[in-house]
């Protein structure tokens, strides 16, 4: 299957290229996360699905680049990077903060005439469901930011236990939390693409009811999927998540072909 996609991009990582894949899945990390979080998913879904993972600036090999501390800023920067990869059905998966970036990115893609196959909103309440937080993480001192990371268990323990690595990672982590915590949804057109929400049954950051409210943001159909585990259930339940995503993408491709 011929393709004119770029060979390299600072934003897009392709750990297991799948030239003949039926569809692509673009994955967006959580606050403080990096593209490598999705390496196991990339291995699990290939070669039938070509997994692309986003690397935000300010971390790992992009650590010398300035961070982008707004959800809309990240979506604005990504849309031009992602469009060349939409040469075949493109699904979007975002976890936690990545779900907000993915939603804003999907809106921008549709405004440019490219409708995603599906948007997977993982571990995040719908944009219209706000929680008032009088103690934003991005305004806390370093020790309390670290305590939040430990409580959620989403940051590699090797980073949390290594003072030098942690000192390097904290600016990006704080910037991501600022982006997530200052984001405000602006009511507008619904997505034409379907939204499938995924949530952990023990996730303190989002309830099934808050996840179900994603249905209000699409005219293309909605599904809610629950999984055992807490906020980082995708890491805890990777084989289950991979099987679920593969089935959902296959079903939607079949619908399109009928």
* Cα(183)–Cα(72) distance, integer angstroms: 8
Among residues 96, 153, 219, 250, which one is catalytic? 96
Please give the Cα distance from 157 to 139 (Å, whole number). Answer: 23
Closest CA to 78 of 102, 113, 50, 110: 102
- Decide if 96 is catalytic: yes
Dump strand ranges (E) for the chain: 12-13, 23-28, 49-54, 90-95, 118-122, 195-200, 222-227
Which H or E run contains 1? none
Across the beta sheet with 23-28, what order do the strands follow?
12-13, 49-54, 23-28, 90-95, 118-122, 195-200, 222-227
Q: Quick one: residue 212, left, alpha or beta (phi over 0 = left, psi -120 to 50 = alpha)?
A: alpha
Please report which residue ranges of 1-124 form alpha helices under DSSP H.
39-45, 71-82, 97-111
**Distance of alpha carbon 200 from alpha carbon 205, whole angstroms:** 9
Active site residues: 96
């Amino acid at each position: 299957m011929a393709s004119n996609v770029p060979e390299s991009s600072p934003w897009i990582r392709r750990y297991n290229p799948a030239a003949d894949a039926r569809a692509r899945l673009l994955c967006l990390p959580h606050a403080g996360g990096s593209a490598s979080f999705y390496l196991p998913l990339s291995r699990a879904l290939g070669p039938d699905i070509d997994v692309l993972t986003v690397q935000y600036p300010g971390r790992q090999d992009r650590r010398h680049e300035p961070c982008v501390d707004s959800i809309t800023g990240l979506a604005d920067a990504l849309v031009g990077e992602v469009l060349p990869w939409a040469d075949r059905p493109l699904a979007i998966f975002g976890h936690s903060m990545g779900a907000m970036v993915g939603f804003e990115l999907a809106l921008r893609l549709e405004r440019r005439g490219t409708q995603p196959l599906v948007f997977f909103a993982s571990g995040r309440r719908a944009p219209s469901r706000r929680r008032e937080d009088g103690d934003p993480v991005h305004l806390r001192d370093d020790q309390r930011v670290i305590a939040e990371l430990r409580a959620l268990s989403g940051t590699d323990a090797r980073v949390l236990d290594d003072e030098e690595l942690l000192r390097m990672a904290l600016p990006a982590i704080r910037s991501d939390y600022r982006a997530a915590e200052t984001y405000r949804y602006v009511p507008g057109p619904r997505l034409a693409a379907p939204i499938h929400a995924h949530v952990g049954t023990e996730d303190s950051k989002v309830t099934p009811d808050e996840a179900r409210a994603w249905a209000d943001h699409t005219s293309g159909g909605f599904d809610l999927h629950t999984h055992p585990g807490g906020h980082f259930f995708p890491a805890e339940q990777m084989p289950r998540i991979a099987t679920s995503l593969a089935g959902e993408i296959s079903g939607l491709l079949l619908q399109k072909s009928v």
